[in-house]
Amino acid sequence: MAVHSESGSQEKKSGNGLNELLTFNAENMQNNMKIIYYSRTFLSIIGGVVAGILGFTGLKGFVFYLLLMAVTSVGLVAKAKFSIPTYFDSWNRVLLDGFLGGLMSFVLFWTYPSLMKYDNISEV
C-alpha cells in the first residue's frame, strides 16, 4: 500500500515574480541553476579562446562575449522548451545569471592564445 510521507528532499519555499504557485521544489531549482552555471562557464572559456585566436582586441572582444551570451541564453530558453515557469521562478535567472562570472573567465582565456606564440613564456 502506498502512503504519503514527508521526505526531506522537498523543501517548500516562497516564490515571487512570475511563479503563480507560492511554493516550489528548491532542490530541482538548484539543479537547474547549476546547469545554467556550467553551460555559461564552459561557453565563456571556449569563447575566450576563440576570441584570442581571432585576434579581437578591446571593444570587439566584449561585443563578441555579449553575442556569445545572447546565443547561450537563446539556447537555454530552447532547452527549457520555452516554458520558463515550469523550471524557474523568474526570467531573470535564466537570462542574466552567470553573466558577470563568465566574463571573468572569458577575459582570462582571451589572453592565452596571444601567449602561445612565445617559446619561453617567462619572457612575456
Report the interface residues with another protein, using CB under 8 A: 1-7, 9-10, 12, 21, 23-26, 28-29, 31-32, 34-35, 38-39, 42-43, 46-47, 49-50, 52-56, 60, 63-64, 66-67, 70-72, 75-76, 78-80, 86-89, 113, 116-117
Q: How many angstroms separate the first and last alpha carbons of the chain? A: 71
Judged by CB, which is closer to another protein: 63, or 96? 63
Beta bridge partners of 24: 13
Judged by CB, which is closer to another protein: 23, or 92? 23
CA dist., res. 96 & res. 70, Å (int): 10
Give the H/E segment covering residue 70: helix 59-79
